[in-house]
């Protein structure tokens, strides 16, 4: 199946809605991309990515991330692992002769639109569950 370049699976999942993500699903998907990843490293990177995304979308009080963020967590963890494997944590750019590697400074920036949509959806959901008092 050919994937269209402008299609964003995380946005598609957001539009469909549904449930909370689980670490087990994330780790399974991560093992598909990186079969030899160490479980301890994978678990740590998944938790770090989830913590950062939770802060970005404004989740409070240890609330679970929505399932529609699973793809973003997997992609961010994959990028974090690749940086970890190359021992280039904190390096912005490296050049060796003609080969050049430039790292993304903030891994969540490329998902800004999706994270803002989730943040808005969570705010709307919170507003709809609040009790309202109307004065006539």
Quick check: is 4 in a domain? no
Each residue of 50-92: pLDDT tens digit?
Answer: 999 998 998 877 778 888 899 999 999 998 898 788 755 555 5
Largest CA distance in the chain: 74
Quick check: is 1 in a domain? no
pLDDT at 62: 72
pLDDT above 70 covers a percentage of the chain that reads: 64
Total domains in the fold of the chain: 1
Quick check: is 82 in a domain? yes
* Interatomic CA distance for residues 33 and 22, integer angstroms: 17
Quick check: is 136 in a domain? no
Kindly tell me the sign of the dihedral angle through the C-alpha atoms of 12, 14, 19, 22. positive
pTM for this prediction: 0.66
Quick check: is 2 in a domain? no
Does position 116 have pLDDT exceeding 60, yes or no? yes
Provide the domain limits for residue 39: 9-129
Quick check: is 64 in a domain? yes
pLDDT at 8: 40
Contact of 131 with 25, CB cutoff 8 Å: no
Average pLDDT score over residue span 89-105: 60
């Amino acid at each position: 199946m050919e994937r269209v370049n402008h299609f964003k699976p995380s946005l598609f999942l957001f539009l469909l809605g549904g449930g909370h993500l689980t670490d087990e699903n994330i780790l399974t998907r991560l093992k598909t991309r990186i079969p030899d990843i160490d479980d301890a490293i994978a678990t740590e990177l998944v938790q770090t990515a989830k913590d950062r995304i939770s802060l970005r979308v404004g989740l409070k009080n240890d609330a679970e991330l929505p399932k529609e963020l699973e793809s973003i967590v997997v992609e961010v963890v994959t990028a974090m692992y690749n940086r970890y494997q190359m021992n280039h944590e904190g390096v912005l750019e490296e050049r060796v002769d003609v080969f050049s590697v430039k790292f993304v400074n903030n891994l969540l920036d490329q998902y800004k639109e999706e994270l803002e949509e989730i943040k808005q959806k969570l705010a709307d959901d919170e507003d709809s569950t609040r009790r309202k008092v109307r004065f006539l």
